[in-house]
Amino acid sequence: MSDESRAQGGLRTDPPPKVVVTKIGLDGHDRGSRVIAASLRDAGMEVVYTPPWQDIAAVIKLAIEEDADVIGVSSLASDHLLVPKLMAGLRKAGAGDVQVVVGGIVPPGDEKQLLDAGVARVFHPGTSLQVIAQAIRELSARARSLRTGVPS
């Protein structure tokens, strides 16, 4: 199908956004990350879910192997403070195009630190699942644009 046909209402052939949903560090509270993973799957995204207690190197390796567009890190007990190390590790591994979001309990001062480290978005308790899904779609497009050099 040509680009013109697609623009005129033809079928989209783009693959769905690919998201790794994970918990790094020692925080084992995974109910929120499971809800988000299921919601993103229901929204048509490809989701790779990890159990809790992941280390940063394993998350980076998984994101690269899976060609993920976005990594979503869930934090309830201050493990979001490890995310700047994740950001640095992604850049060092040549995967700086992968967008990172953090969801959970993040104090305002910590949020600024995360954003300064390159985190794309921080979602707080009560953010609607629709808002999160739309943001992930947009960030996936950004990641693919950075990866290919083609504007989204």
Is residue 31, in this structure, part of any structural domain at all? yes
Q: 5 in a domain, yes or no?
A: no
Strands 46-49 and 18-22: parallel
In a domain, 109, yes or no: yes
The CATH number of residue 126's host domain is 3.40.50.280
The answer to whether position 30 is within a domain reads yes
d(CA 105, CA 120): 16
In whole angstroms, give the CA distance from residue 24 to residue 86: 9
Residue 123 lies in domain: 15-148
Count of domains forming the chain: 1
The CA distance from 112 to 16, in Å, is 30
Question: 7 in a domain, yes or no?
Answer: no
pLDDT for the residue numbered 28: 83
Please report whether residue 134 resides in a domain.
yes
Residue 118 DSSP label:
T
Q: Give pTM, 2 decimals.
A: 0.90
70 phi and psi angles, rounded to 5 deg: -140, 140
In a domain, 10, yes or no: no
pLDDT at position 133: 98
CB-based burial label for 138 (10 Å; 0-12, 13-18, 19+): middle
Q: What is the mean pLDDT of each run of 10 residues along the chain (152 residues)?
A: 46 87 90 96 98 95 98 92 97 98 94 97 97 98 93 76
How many Cα atoms within 13 Å fall on the side-chain side of residue 81? 8
